[in-house]
Structure 1
Amino acid sequence: MLAIFLKTVPFFALIGLGYGAARIRFFPEAATAALTKFVFYFALSAMLFRFSASLSISAIFDARLAAAYLAGTLAVYLVATGVAFLRRQDLQTAAIEAQTASIGNTGFLGLPMLALLLGEAAVAPIILMLSIDLIVFASLLVILVTVAREGRMSLGIFATIGAGLVKNPMIVSIVAGLAVSSSGQSLPTVVDEFVTLLGNAATPCALFAIGASLASKSAERLAVSGWLSFAKLVLHPLFVAGGVYLLFPVPPFQAAVAVATAALPVAGNVYMLAQHYGIAPQRVSAAILISTAFSILTVSTVIALVNP
């Protein structure tokens, strides 16, 4: 376990560097926003495109792994929703809390870190789980919030969901990469070198941006945020483990990648959604801060436990 922990230290050290730089205002919020945009629209998109262009759809999509991860994530989603209702929260607040408890930082942290820690063979299952998060659970949040506010379903909801997916650069990059892969053509050398160079910037820039963004997060409503962090760091990997080892058993390596991915801290885009809809952004902000801080220990522990 110590060896794995030491391998994760540089990743979290970069997060800490970004946090410190933003905390002392050497790296202002405007710079953090610009760096995040660069990672999201360019560097991470290039990384996803390059990985996807070297993989086939059959290599990424595994029905049992998808079902196992979906079942485990849905389980923690329902638990978080139930706890919110027990606390007499309304539907839209319960939905954002469930999103906080079940959606990890797979794009910015998980893909670059787990690909290095577990090897490039981990990329295909990570892309599958990232796609499930972006397509299934992000869409579910839009549906629940819209129903809570309008009191009904409408065709406009699906138009909104579709537009959001088309505009998401991670989805676009994966689809574009798979289109290249399906064509049977390899990327021209100059294009491959370009996307490799750009994609290599994703890891350090994404980690630094995560840390810098945490500096603006506040640790308010600690009881609720602490519970959501516990659900994300402990319950989510536990439920996904039940899915990949018991409910829909998959090969040991795939299972390890799924559980490690589920152990990631709360995703930053959950805060963006909470802020966009005006639903409990403070508790989501605090959960991101708390879960990221504790994930320094929990992620390495989970990887040590499940890595075959």
Structure 2
Amino acid sequence: MSDVIGGLAVFAVVIAVGWVLVRTGAVPVGSDTVLTRLCFFAATPALLITTLAGADLAAVTSLGTAVAIGAELLGLVTAWCVHRCLLHRPVAEAMLGALASAYVNAANLGIPVLVLVLGDATAVAPILLLQLLVLTPLAFTVLDAVTRRGSPSRFATYTLPLRNPLVLAVLVGVLVNLSGFDLDAALRGHLAELLDTLGRIAVPLMMLSLGMSLAASRLRPPQNVAGAPKSGRAGGAEGTGGAVPRVVNVPPEPVHDAASRTALRWAVAWKLLVVPGLAVGLGLVAGLHGSALLMPVTTASLPTAQNVFMYASRYGVAKPLARDAVLLTTAGFVPVVLLAAAVL
């Protein structure tokens, strides 16, 4: 238990470092985007490949994994019923509410948290595949149908998960494992060294980018018609030769109405309390105890993924709900994980 608390404390300090770097101006606002893309396209795929290449794949297909998947699916369905039937939200908003209640941050936080609590991130692979290959296309289908905002190329939209670096990394790692390919011998060991070097930076970069993102969320400046920050100088923006640009009032960030605030409270409670509770219940029914039960409970306790806000922004639906659910569940999941680790 003390090791988990110490590890989470280290994570908190690294997140705080990212926050301080942005708040003090040591790095510019938006730096978190660069780090996130670096993790997404290079560091995290490398970590997934090396993890799965040497993993015991029986753990991936274990009863605990089935419980984790079952808890997420059951949480999604029950949350949909709450938002649609109890709160009477429109179909699109109910879909975003359900995603905010159950779609977990499996990559940016799931990997480091599982490494810390369980010593192994292998169990995150099936959750990633479930979310990217099943839940995301399902959500797109529903949102396209009810908002009529489908992309010009539906093929591009629905094949997007198959071009996701994390999905490809999971598939490569499993293929290497099953084929018996020796990464350590490939290219005289340089391939394994490259992947290991990239994989080692994934976790600290994820934590730094999270801290930067939290700091930048309150510092992003207003925009002018060209999408650039307003200068604040009399006589026009810098680089315009002193000409006063035509400034267009950009709509402010959407805020909650009373119904949206209620939906947010339900989503946060569902994510932090109900879905982990479902994992406990399903795990006990399946005969899991101790550390075997800790894996699905930890996975279920992970906060809402930032993907949910991206989907809300893309379809112009429930943006305040998605944005604040990500923030509040990210801030609130640590006590849930600590309690699970202490009890189990």
TM-score category (smaller protein) = 0.7 to 0.9
CA contact (8 A) 2:301 2:336 kept: yes
Structure 1 stretches of 5 or more lacking a match?
none
State the AA in 1 paired with 2:270: A
Residues 107-256 of structure 1 aligned to structure 2 (within 5 Å): 107-120=107-120, 123-150=121-148, 159=155, 162-187=158-183, 188=186, 189-217=189-217, 221=256, 222-246=261-285, 248-250=286-288, 252-256=290-294
Asked if the contact 1:11–1:113 (Cα under 8 Å) also holds between the matched residues in 2, the reply is no
CA distance in 2, matches of 1:34, 1:138: 24
Q: Secondary structure at the residue paired with 1:244?
A: helix
Say if 2:330 is the partner of 1:292.
yes
Counterparts in 2 of 1:217 and 1:83: CA distance versus 1, 3 Å? farther
Q: C-alpha displacement at 1:56, in angstroms?
A: 5.8
8 Å contact from structure 1 (residues 100, 228) kept in 2 = yes
Cα deviation for residue 253 of structure 1 reads 3.0
Q: What are the superposed Cα offsets for residues 244-288 of structure 1, whole Å, 9 maximum, x if unpaired?
A: 221x34464332111111111111222122212222222211111
In structure 2, the partner of 1:84 is: 83
TM-score, length-normalised on structure 1?
0.87
Distance between the aligned counterparts of 1:93 and 1:223, measured in 2? 13
| 8 A Cα contact 2:4 2:116, kept in partner | no
Whether the 8 Å contact between 1:56 and 1:178 is mirrored in structure 2 is no
Determine if contact 2:255/2:320 at 8 Å carries over to the other structure.
yes
The alignment's TM-score, normalised by the length of structure 2, stands at 0.78
User: Aligned with 2:108: secondary structure?
Assistant: helix
Which residue identity lines up with residue 14 of structure 1 in the other structure? V
| More displaced 10-residue stretch of structure 1: 212-221 or 2-11 | 212-221
For 1:270 and 1:16, the matched residues in 2 are separated by 24
Cα pair 2:7 2:116 within 8 Å, conserved: no
Q: How far 1:66 moved relative to its partner? A: 4.3
Q: Select between 193-202 and 9-18 the one with higher mean Cα deviation.
A: 9-18
- CA contact under 8 A between 1:19 and 1:211: conserved in structure 2? yes
The separation in 1 between residues aligned to 2:88 and 2:23, in whole angstroms, is 36
Give the whole-Å Cα distance in 1 for the aligned partners of 2:156 and 2:56: 29
Q: How far apart are 1:59 and its partner, in Å?
A: 4.2
Structure of higher CA gyration radius: 2
**Aligned-residue offset at 1:233:** 1.3
Task: Tell me the equivalent position of 1:73.
Answer: 72
SS in 2 for 1:107: coil
8 Å CA contact retained: 1:53, 1:178: yes
Contact 2:100 2:267 (C-alpha < 8 Å) held by counterparts: yes
> Partners of 1:128 and 1:251 in 2: how far apart?
21
Residues 2-24 of structure 1: CA deviation (Å, up to 9, x unaligned): 55323311112222222333344
**Contact 1:48 1:177 survives alignment (8 Å):** yes
Deviations for 1:142-168, whole angstroms, at most 9, x for unmatched residues?
Answer: 2221232359xxxx86x4565122111
Distance 1:49 1:250 in 2: 28
Q: Which amino acid aligns with 2:68?
A: Y
Contact 1:126 1:257 in 2 (8 A): no
Distance across 2 between alignment mates of 1:269 and 1:35: 16
CA–CA separation in structure 2 for the residues paired with 1:185 and 1:138: 32
Counterpart of 1:180, as a letter, is: V
Gaps of 5+ in 2: 219-253
- Change in Cα spacing, 1:110 to 1:279, as seen in structure 2 (3 Å) is same
Deviation per CA, 1:79-100, whole angstroms, max 9, x where unpaired?
3212222323211111111111
